[in-house]
Chains A and B, each alone.
Chain A
Amino acid sequence: MNPEQVFKVYESPRLKKPSLIAAWIEDAGKLGPQVIDFLVQKLDCREFGEILPEGFFPMSGVTVEDDVTQFPMSKFFVSDEHNLIIFLSNTPRTDWYRFLNTVLDITHNECGVKEIYALGAMVSSAAHTMPRLILSVVNSPQMKDILNPYGIISDMEYETPPGQKPTINSYLVWLAWKRGLPGASLWIPVSYYLIPAEDPRACKRYVDFFDRRFNLGIDTQELDDRMAEQNAKIARLFKENPAVEGFVRRLEINQPLEPEESERLAREMGEYLNRP
């Protein structure tokens, strides 16, 4: 495949040292795509390019989700007004190095991006009533300094255990570091039993951070409404199903559940929250 066939830029954005926010469609609980969708909609972003799927995704058919077919997508959006570039993509299945470098070629080389934020969720065994904290791994002391004023936790000591692999966000920000570009992989722990539904509080936590970081002046009423609606639903569920409430209360005091109890909590909470 010729390099020029790897991506298409419909109209190059004219920005002055913008920032990049990136997320992956397969993120746990779809948190990353929810944040991106919210930002794209509220900031009135326009799509300006894409990475073509051939060579990065198996072209062996399509998957079906919620009764409709899915096809890999890797799209770039721009908010001219807020000097932001946003990237949302399926996670490539092969040739990751070329794919991630293509993301950086477009955003860094073409658009002059000055810092990148790769966001996502981490499945947590904690109760959903715990505060939503943003944790981070940075690629440079410079990025740590950038995040410092925003209460983002960045003190992790970690080595990938045998049998596991680094996250694609870590890989992306490491490649950014190789180009001298400050970057951070951000994640918010999301309770495992909210994964089948959504976590609007986590979504709002991200949006609040980006709002402060980039002075977006964004209206988050919609997220507040979704949070209130979810809280009300959970309160109703607790009333109807005290066992589920009991499981959550135990998690709140760090008392682990038996596997069958965890399974039941996730199933019953998921079913209830997904009811129209």
Chain B
Amino acid sequence: MGIRFIKEPELINPVMIACWPGIGNIGLIAVDNMRRVLQAEEMAYIEPWDFFYPSRVIIHGGEIREMQFPASMFYYKRTDQRDLIFFIGEEQPAEGGRVYAEGSKAYAMANLVLDIAEKFGCKRIYTSGAAVAPIHHTARSRVWVVPNSKALLPEVKKYDNCLLMSDIEGRGGQGNITGLNGLLLGVAGRRGLEAVCMMGEIPVYLQGFPFPYPKASKSVLEVLTPALGISMEMESINRLAEQSEFELSSLYEKLPPEIKEQLDRLKQVLIATENNAGIITEEDKKKILEDIDKFFKREGREEQH
């Protein structure tokens, strides 16, 4: 179980931005887009053997040519404003068929990522994921921000288009961040590192589907880049977000009127506060998800014939 270096660059007070897949791949798309746009270079990787089952085999002429594993890769970028380290995990090291990491392997991976952070002098880590929210896909996703210490609250409250858990109706500042995008904050805290998770909102009715939701990734980047004090072009994430919204709107048009009518109620949700009470209840939410699930199962069967 170890880290292999490709390069060991000299970095000055870098900030780490780490991410694993999750609902809508919101964090992954945001961080990977940033990494690509800034042309960050490969730096190191975590050996996959102890964490993952192979993801792909390539066989040519009856002979195994390659066995591929989910990558857990570090990149670095020196910008005029600050040095950055990116960590992108293609898969969470889950046990027993679960999607999200938990247990000793998750803890081991979190520590390996933070070993690199500390080795290069990082004091601050950002992670990103999804916040399932009662919003409509035509609305701008907000970003739920959770720091790993009270000392960071004054700073994160200043971020634009962001919410704290305590801003959300009925939560009383409580919540969960599942998997490594959350666990890393806790482990970072144990090691005396500051960490903040930025979660882009995804409509509640999209949470169960394997669609990416780059619209929320765009919102995350709109918060993350000023927080880091860097600027980057947003053209590629804008394109992704527009394409995804176009596809979702086409799909939306196919929904039966009774489901659309229910979902249209979510257009009234402008901000998740106590004032939203009654727009969509837990019971409504359950029914909407069941109806959509039935709709897609029916669609799937019809397409097969």
Contact = CB atoms under 8 A, between A and B. Distances in A.
Contacts of B59: 137, 156-159, 170
Nearest to B67: A174
Interface string A159-180: 1100001100011011001000
B64 interface: yes
A119 interface: no
Nearest to A97: B49
Contact of B64 (A93, A95, A165, A173): A173
In the complex, the 10 A-B pairs of residues with the closest C-beta atoms, listed nearest first: A154-B62, A166-B57, A97-B49, A160-B56, A158-B59, A174-B67, A94-B95, A155-B62, A166-B54, A156-B62
Contacts of A30: none
Given A58-B96, A166-B56, A174-B57, A97 B62 contact: no
Interface string A122-166: 000000000000001111110010000000011111111000011
A170 B62 contact: no
A139 B53 contact: no
Interface in B39-97: 49-50, 53-64, 67, 95-97
A50 B67 CA distance: 27
Secondary structure of the A side of the interface?
mixed
Contacts of B53: 96, 165, 171
B57 to A, nearest CB: 4
A109 B52 CA distance: 24
Contacts of A236: none
A173 B105 CA distance: 25
A197 B212 CA distance: 42
A137 B56 contact: no
Nearest to B48: A97
A213 interface: no
Contacts of A154: 62-63
A93 B53 CA distance: 10
Interface of A: 58, 93-98, 136-141, 144, 153-160, 165-166, 170-171, 173-174, 177
B64 A138 contact: yes
Contact of A170 (B60, B64, B95): B64
Contact of B50 (A93, A95, A153, A174): A95
Contacts of B63: 137-141, 144, 154
Interface of B: 49-50, 53-64, 67, 95-97, 105
Given A159-B56, A171-B67, 16 more contacts: A93-B95, A93-B97, A94-B95, A95-B50, A96-B53, A137-B62, A137-B64, A138-B63, A139-B64, A157-B61, A159-B57, A165-B55, A166-B67, A170-B54, A170-B67, A174-B67
Contact of B57 (A94, A136, A158): A158
A158 B54 CA distance: 15
A93 B55 contact: no
B58 A93 contact: no
Given A159-B58, A174-B57, A93 B49 contact: no
A101 to B, nearest CB: 9
Nearest to A259: B304
A160 B65 CA distance: 12
Contacts of A137: 59, 62-64
Given A97-B49, A171-B67, A157 B54 contact: no
A193 to B, nearest CB: 21
Contacts of B96: 58, 93-94
A72 B53 CA distance: 19
A93 B105 CA distance: 14
Residue with the highest number of chain A CB atoms closer than 10 Å, among B58, B59, B61: B59
A155 B58 contact: no
A177 B66 CA distance: 11
B61 A97 contact: no
Nearest to B103: A94
A29 B59 CA distance: 25
17 contacts: A93-B95, A93-B97, A94-B105, A95-B50, A97-B50, A137-B62, A137-B63, A144-B62, A154-B62, A156-B61, A157-B60, A158-B58, A166-B54, A170-B59, A170-B64, A174-B54, A177-B64
Nearest to B62: A154
Contact of A174 (B55, B64, B97): B64
Contacts of B60: 157
Nearest to A170: B57
A227 to B, nearest CB: 29
A93 B94 CA distance: 11
Contacts of B105: 94
A223 B19 CA distance: 55
A173 B63 CA distance: 11
